[in-house]
Amino acid sequence: MVQMDPYDVLGVPRNASAAEVRRAWIEGVRRHPPDRDPEGFQRLREAHDRLKDPWFRSTERLFGRSDLSSLSDLAEVFSGKRRWLGPEPWLRLIGRSER
């Protein structure tokens, strides 16, 4: 089971710099202000606290991610990263002949 990934919560890549993490945090707080969405804000804050900590990143780098214990788990990592395809594939799907 893949745990809540702080990178996904903040929407930053794993190699994001400290400045990028901070920008994502500020943007996230704008979207989930603590008074209107306390749960979302709490999630964001936990994710930001973890990514801010250089030991967290070094732990992952040195000892591997705790949520990955077998090769097939690796595919699960991609599930949290859905891609936005733009209109083309959807229009192709809508415009094709009947199923």
Partner 1 sequence: MARGSRRKRKRGRRKQPPGAASPERSRDRVRLLLERGRTREAVDLARELTKTHPGDDSEDLLIRARLARAGSLADAGLLRDALRLLDHLEVKHPRAREETRWLRLAIEVRSGRLDHILRELAAAEAEEDDARIARVHDILRREMRNPAIVAETPLLPPDHPLRKEAAAAARIFERLVSGPQAPNEDPPAAAVPRRSPFAPWVLAGRAIQAAYRKDVETLRRLERSLPASSPPSRILPLLKVMAGLAPPAGLDLAEGRVFDAVEGGRGSLSHRLRKLEKEIEEGEAGAAETSAFRLVREIRTRDPTLVPEFQRLLWEAWARSELPLEILDDVFTDTGCSESEMYRYSALTLERHGALYAALGAWDSFLEKAGTRLPPREIAMVRLRQARLAAALQEDLGAESDDPWEVIVDPLLFLDAAAEAFPCARTFEPLMDTLTARGRKEAEAVALRWHESDPRALAPLLHLLHSTERRGAIRKALKWIEKIEAVEPCHPEARGGRFRLLLAGATYRIRRAKFHLARRDIEDLRQTPRGADPEFQCLLDGLSWFAAEGETQRTATLRSMDADLGEHGTDLLLRQMERQLGAKRFVPRLPSRDGRPPPGRVIPILARLARVFIALDWTLFPPAAWKKALRAALESWTDPSVRDLDPLCRIMMNEGEWDILYLLSGKGLLHGGAQRYRFLFYRGQSFVELHEMDRRRSCLRAAQELARRAGDRETEAESRDGLFPDLPQIGVLMDFPAEEDETPLSREDLAHIIEFEANAPLKRRRPRRRRKKIRDIAELFDF
- Contact positions vs partner 1 (CB under 8 A): 13-15, 31, 54-55, 58-59, 61-65, 68-79, 81-87, 89-99
Taking the least distance from each CB to partner 1, the nearer of 14 and 42 is 14
Comparing CB distances to partner 1, the nearer of 39 and 54 is 54
Structure-token pair, residue 71: 């090769």
Report the nearest approach of partner 1 to the CB of residue 48 (Å): 18
Q: Please tell me the distance from the alpha carbon of residue 75 to that of residue 47, in angstroms, as a whole number.
A: 22
Give yes or no for a contact between 28 and 10, defined as CB atoms under 8 angstroms apart: yes
The least CB distance from residue 85 to partner 1, in Å, is: 6
Task: Look at residue 10 and give its three-state secondary structure.
Answer: helix
Dihedrals phi, psi of 42, to nearest 5 degrees: -60, -45
Q: Of 19 and 96, which CB lies nearer to partner 1 in the complex structure?
A: 96
